[in-house]
């Protein structure tokens, strides 16, 4: 059952990565929100490529800006909930960016 849910989620995870990249492309290079969407993308990439999480070390998140950590943690929470849900979600929305960034 877990494998079937993962297969259903994979296209949605790829769409989430595309959405984060698209949103980031609309922002000025100096915008802190770029880091937020990089964090969202990193969390989704780790689901597609679990070996990526083993290479960063325990303090991997501490090396990134706060906005990155926020995006990463919001996306990770959403992805974990989707992976463990009884019914796989049909859509994974882009996490809302923090206000005031």
Given a cut of 80, is residue 74 above it in pLDDT? yes
Enclosing domain of residue 33: 2-84
Given a cut of 60, is residue 60 above it in pLDDT? yes
Q: How far is CA 89 from CA 34, 70, 78, in A?
A: 26, 22, 11
The count of structural domains within the chain is 1
Given a cut of 60, is residue 2 above it in pLDDT? no
pLDDT attached to residue 1: 38
Q: What digits encode the pLDDT tens for the residues 10-22?
A: 899 999 999 999 9
Name residues whose C-beta falls within 8 Å of residue 87's C-beta, 6 or more positions apart in sequence: none
Domain membership of residue 22 (yes or no) is yes
Report the distance separating Cα 53 and Cα 47, nearest Å. 9
Domain membership of residue 75 (yes or no) is yes
Domain membership of residue 76 (yes or no) is yes
Mean residue pLDDT of the chain comes to 85
Domain membership of residue 32 (yes or no) is yes
Q: How confident is the model at residue 57 (pLDDT cuts 50, 70, 90)?
A: low
Domain membership of residue 12 (yes or no) is yes
């Amino acid at each position: 059952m877990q494998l079937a849910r993962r297969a259903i989620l994979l296209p949605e995870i790829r769409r989430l990565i595309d959405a984060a990249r698209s949103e980031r492309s609309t922002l000025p290079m100096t915008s802190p929100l770029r880091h937020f969407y990089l964090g969202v993308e990193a969390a989704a990439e780790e689901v597609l490529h679990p070996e990526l999480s083993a290479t960063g070390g325990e303090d991997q998140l501490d090396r990134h800006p706060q906005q990155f950590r926020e995006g990463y943690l919001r996306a990770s929470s959403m992805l974990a909930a989707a992976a463990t849900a009884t019914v796989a979600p049909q859509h994974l929305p882009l996490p809302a960016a923090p206000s005031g960034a």
